[in-house]
Structure 1
């Protein structure tokens, strides 16, 4: 059986490709396990600086595989809970991956596929891409992916799309914040390459740790504590090897050592 996921490396850039094109890159237990394992391995590889997530075939990801859904429909509640927890671990691994991530959305994304897009730091799609949180049509809800989708599009938008299961286009995905950019299909790779180049010019720790800062500031409830923590962070960064190199390069009008 062909592997449901392929990993390629180009220098400091890793590309994870969902590789079930005949099934529109739909999730099953094997794909969830392989993608989670690949993300865990990339998290521990200091030579990786950017991760691009993409799909092969017509779709980015159509969500849940039909046979997988059939099996889970006949399983008991405990088995379904374990299965959902595996998907939750995948989404959290992607959301908190200590590397900047880019979703290359060349085609449709539904259900869990929307969750993958929402978990990436940067999401770029084509005008032909379609999106849908279609679980309510099946008597379900996008519960596992909801923290990441709500963080991407906001609670007001989520209430609409979770309830209606309506399909929306790339222009709407851009408007509500699921996508950062929409470009013609023949310009998609150039747009991805531009973001990769920008990330490789940024300091490795700073670009990787940006998502943690955003997450912690967004969740903060104590303004005084937040000010203290942020002051401590910037002080530590200024005296760190990376901060010293960046500031020194700027003042000396030279390129920092991390730029490839």
Structure 2
């Protein structure tokens, strides 16, 4: 049983993996991170599953990392901080390397880690007018653990347009940036997801898994070195002065100290 996810598999072998914290806009809490890691393993080893569709319940796809969880890490000891940052990093790796094709159904908002979740999908389809953004620097953080996946999807030139400035952009620009494959009217989204699913149902499952693994082998390296560097970068922010100020300002609904008025 899962508490922060809803998973169903239809008779074709299409698994629907839905983030189920709609009241928190599907922000990535410790519990959700743990359950996503487990779900990636279970779906990845389930021979009845042919394709995974990743979605979010409620108004948003994923609002990013749960800031209350991050606040807790800033007050924790060094071992706890590294362990918790590692959970986030290795959850993303588990989804990115899951030996099943994963299609992202991105509606509403996708901020910070939500963009990272879209980037670990093999293809992501969005809704016209949807809002996305790598919003970490506004909070005194950086897109650390999602960084390897964002750079792999977008490339450095595109990433540098949005990686550091916390700018909110619409789904149409996310297509240009490479995060989304398409941005469609809301009533066309389900048909577009089905069109992405259908070809896989005629493909040999083990060949699909091997082909996906090959893309990772020949794509930008995302191994232990890169993952550990991303963990170090996140912990560095948690240990600094800006992240506590930025997150406190968010919860207190005030401008952070660095905001120019």
Q: TM bucket by the smaller chain?
A: 0.7 to 0.9
Secondary structure of 1:160's counterpart equals coil
- Once residues 133 and 80 of structure 1 are traced to their aligned partners in structure 2, the CA distance between those partners, rounded to angstroms, is 22
| Aligned-residue offset at 1:219 | 4.9
Whichever structure has more helix as a proportion of its residues is 1
1:135 counterpart residue number: 136
Q: Which residue of 1 aligns with 2:111?
A: 110
TM-superposed CA distance for 1:118, in Å, is 0.1
Helix, strand or coil for the counterpart of 1:57? Answer: coil
Distance in 2 (alpha carbons) for counterparts of 1:180 and 1:137: 27
Partner of 2:254: none
Provide the rounded CA distance (Å) in 2 between the counterparts of 1:206 and 1:94: 18
For 1:70-81, list aligned pairs within 5 A.
70-81=71-82
Distance 1:158 1:76, change over 3 A: farther
TM-score (norm 1): 0.81
* Number of residue equivalences: 219
RMSD of Structure 2 on Structure 1 (CA): 1.5
> Which residue of the partner structure matches residue 148 of structure 1?
149
- Aligned partner of 1:94 in structure 2 is 95
* Bigger Rg, structure 1 or 2: 1
Does residue 224 of structure 2 align to residue 190 of structure 1?
Answer: no
Report the equivalent of 1:50.
51
Q: Whole-Å Cα distance in 1 between the matches of residues 220 and 35 of structure 2?
A: 30
TM-score norm. by structure 2 comes to 0.80
Would the aligned equivalents of 2:65 and 2:112 in 1 still touch at CA under 8 Å? yes
Q: Distance in 2 between matches of 1:72 and 1:109?
A: 23
Query: How far apart are the structure 2 equivalents of 1:49 and 1:219?
Result: 25
Deviation at 1:69, TM superposition (A): 2.4
Report which structure shows greater RCO (CA 8 Å, sep ≥6): 2
1:16 maps to 2:17: yes
In structure 1, the gaps of 5 or more residues are 221-260
Match runs of 1:162-241 below 5 Å: 162-219=163-220
Q: Describe the SS at the equivalent of 1:51.
A: strand
Q: Which moved more, 1:146-155 or 1:132-141?
A: 132-141
Contact kept in structure 1, 2:22 and 2:60, CA below 8 Å: yes
Query: SS where residue 91 of structure 1 aligns?
Result: helix
Q: Deviations over 1:207-239 (max 9, x none)?
A: 22222222222359xxxxxxxxxxxxxxxxxxx
Alpha-carbon distance, 1:66 to partner: 3.0
Separation (CA, whole Å) in 2 of partners of 1:93 and 1:120:
11
Gaps of 5+ in 2: 222-261
